[in-house]
Amino acid sequence: MAYSDKNGASSCKTCGLGTYPISDYYGRNIGCRNCPIGSIGRSDGKCYNCDGVMEYGDTVGATSCKTCQVGTVPVGHNSYQRRYKCVNCPIGSIGKTDGKCYNCVGVMEYGDTVGATSCKTCQVGTVPIHNSYQRRYKCVNCPIGSIGKTDGKCYNCVGVMEYGDTVGATSCKTCQVGTVPIHNSYQRRYKCVNCPIGSIGKTDGKCYNCVGVMEYGDTVGATSCKTCQVGTVPVHNSYQRRYKCVNCRVGTIGKSDGQCHRCDGVMEYGDTVGATSCKSCPLGTVPRLDYYRYQYGCKSCRVGTIGKSDGKCHRCNGPMEYGDSYGATSCKNCPLGSIPKVDYSRYQYGCKSCKVGTIGKSDGLCHRCNGPMEYGDSSGATSCKNCPLGSIPKVDYSRYQYGCKNCKVGTIGKSDGLCHRCNGPMEYGDSSGATSCKNCPLGSIPKVDYSRYQYGCRQCQLGTIGKSDGKCYKCIGDQQYVDDYGSTTCKICPSNSRVVIDSRGYHLDCKRWK
């Protein structure tokens, strides 16, 4: 430890503890120097590094090392690899007496201060998290939808009905029946929502649609489905869930199978909504149909028809049948002498008398009185009349024989219905309605009118005689003459006379010779 710092010295000096002698170029101790930071000097004149477990040195010329407090560790070595100070163990770790920092790695351990000597423990419901140095520096709450346990982990609420709605929870909550847990964006169950309308919730955490025959649901969060009354049926919303009951429409009935059935029986109809049974139309009516062919009421069979139990209106189309009222159940029959009246649609809606000149029979037709002598002079007749002999049926413009007319003068009537001319050589008729011709006496011939009817007799004129052939002949013999009208034979002039002849050549008289 000796040194000499002066020339000519008589004795050496001694370096103090904490220092060591320094030498010159020639190896002579010429002075003392403090041991550097992080080391101590001893009596042997040497500096020793503080390298005990917790030792360090923070001054020059030290004679003893200092000891770091628990929670700190000696560092760093400086550029000379000497421990020159104590530093706190970082957050998330603790210091021990061995001069080392140990990370908090226990299940729930963390450290939130520097220089800690013991780790802290996270509360249940929280978990320790690491900083960028992978040291646990704080506790964070387990997120919504999870719970914390003593193993330092967060567990999602995954039980059938479980959820969590707070951070740092230690136990999951349970959804009420009728609700189900739903997930947030992190796929954790964070709340309960009601089962939607048309469904029910069960203890398995699921919503089940009301799908029974008559079932529906009209509230959220239901635990049981409701049942539609008979006459109504459940209907679906836009999510295909049955959310209410609606009445079966007019023309249908509801049954326990949850469907509306048409009243489509022969005579059935339905006139109210929500009906449970169809009504029946009375006879004489038929079901009324709407645009969609639903039978919603009854309508009376129209005039000219009758209603039967087959649900149809049948025409009264028998030869003598008709119908004159709505809702009839049987046809009426026209009396003889009349026939059914027919409208533009050929429905027989009444009776009309057979017209004059015809008769009605049971075949439903009006038959003309067209026998040679037949006629009809009244409507609704059931038999024809016969014209008396001497007359013939009168015929109108439609050739109906509606009365009798006498055969005209110059004719006679026979049973063949014709007026026959009296056209025999000597025949004539001088009255209407005659049944036989008269004969002109000899000496006369039938008188003929402009239509050549022989209506009377006229005497043959002077100078002529009448014969049975209906002609007047001139007396043309040299001595013959006729001086009377209606003569049947010529006269003979005496021999002492001559015939007087007129300008037309008729022999009219005799004149004696002078």
In tens, the pLDDT along 405-433 reads 999 999 999 999 999 999 999 999 999 99
Q: What does the alpha-carbon distance between residue 203 and residue 179 come to, in Å, rounded to a whole number? A: 9
Torsion of CA 209, 212, 215, 220, to 10 degrees: -20
DSSP secondary structure string for all residues of 17-68? TTEEEEE-TTS-EEEEEEPPTTEEE-TTS-EEE--STTEE--STT-SS-EEP
| pLDDT at residue 513 in the model | 77
User: What percentage of the chain has pLDDT greater than the value 70?
Assistant: 99
Q: What does the alpha-carbon distance between residue 364 and residue 348 come to, in Å, rounded to a whole number? A: 11
Q: What does the alpha-carbon distance between residue 24 and residue 26 come to, in Å, rounded to a whole number? A: 5
Q: Are 296 and 250 in contact (CB under 8 A)?
A: yes
What's the half-sphere exposure (Cβ side, CA atoms, 13 Å) at 343?
14
Q: What does the alpha-carbon distance between residue 106 and residue 501 come to, in Å, rounded to a whole number? A: 189
In tens, the pLDDT along 63-82 reads 999 999 999 999 866 677 88
DSSP secondary structure string for all residues of 164-219? --STT-SS-EEPPTTEEEEE-TTS-EEEEEEPPTTEEE-TTS-EEE--STTEE--S
Q: What does the alpha-carbon distance between residue 92 and residue 133 come to, in Å, rounded to a whole number? A: 9
In tens, the pLDDT along 361-397 reads 999 999 999 999 999 999 999 999 999 999 999 999 9
Q: What does the alpha-carbon distance between residue 328 and residue 420 come to, in Å, rounded to a whole number? A: 56
- Written as six digits, the tokens of 466 are 């009448």
Q: Using alpha carbons, list the distances in angstroms from residue 412 to 365, 402, 429, 432.
A: 34, 20, 7, 8
Smallest Cα–Cα separation from 329: which of 350, 310, 301? 301
| pLDDT at residue 365 in the model | 95
Q: Are 420 and 411 in contact (CB under 8 A)?
A: yes
Residue corresponding to tokens 């039938």: 446
- Beta-carbon contacts of 107 under 8 Å, excluding residues fewer than 6 positions away, are 150, 151, 152
Q: What does the alpha-carbon distance between residue 195 and residue 198 come to, in Å, rounded to a whole number? A: 8
Q: What is the DSSP secondary structure assignment for residue 417, as one 8-state letter?
A: S
Residue 54 has pLDDT above 70, yes or no: yes
Residue 50 has pLDDT above 70, yes or no: yes
Over range 354-362, report the average pLDDT. Answer: 96
Q: What does the alpha-carbon distance between residue 142 and residue 139 come to, in Å, rounded to a whole number? A: 9
Residue 401 has pLDDT above 70, yes or no: yes
In tens, the pLDDT along 257-288 reads 999 999 999 999 999 999 999 999 999 999 99
- Beta-carbon contacts of 370 under 8 Å, excluding residues fewer than 6 positions away, are 401
Q: Are 298 and 281 in contact (CB under 8 A)?
A: yes
Q: What does the alpha-carbon distance between residue 259 and residue 218 come to, in Å, rounded to a whole number? A: 19
| pLDDT at residue 76 in the model | 66
Prediction pTM value: 0.61
Residue 41 has pLDDT above 80, yes or no: yes
| pLDDT band with cut points at 50, 70 and 90 for residue 2 | confident
| pLDDT at residue 371 in the model | 96
Q: What does the alpha-carbon distance between residue 125 and residue 12 come to, in Å, rounded to a whole number? A: 75
Q: What does the alpha-carbon distance between residue 175 and residue 264 come to, in Å, rounded to a whole number? A: 50
Over range 475-499, report the average pLDDT. Answer: 92
Q: What does the alpha-carbon distance between residue 119 and residue 137 come to, in Å, rounded to a whole number? A: 10
| pLDDT at residue 78 in the model | 63
| pLDDT at residue 330 in the model | 98
Smallest Cα–Cα separation from 451: which of 418, 421, 488? 421
In tens, the pLDDT along 206-263 reads 999 999 999 999 999 999 999 999 999 999 999 999 999 999 999 999 999 999 999 9
Q: Is 174 exposed, middle or buried (0-12, 13-18, 19+ CB in 10 A)?
A: middle
Q: What does the alpha-carbon distance between residue 233 and residue 220 come to, in Å, rounded to a whole number? A: 20
- 489 φ/ψ angles, rounded to the nearest 5 degrees: -140, 150
Q: Are 502 and 489 in contact (CB under 8 A)?
A: no
Q: Using alpha carbons, list the distances in angstroms from residue 318 to 303, 329, 332, 373.
A: 15, 15, 10, 32
Smallest Cα–Cα separation from 484: which of 452, 456, 461? 461
Residue 445 has pLDDT above 70, yes or no: yes
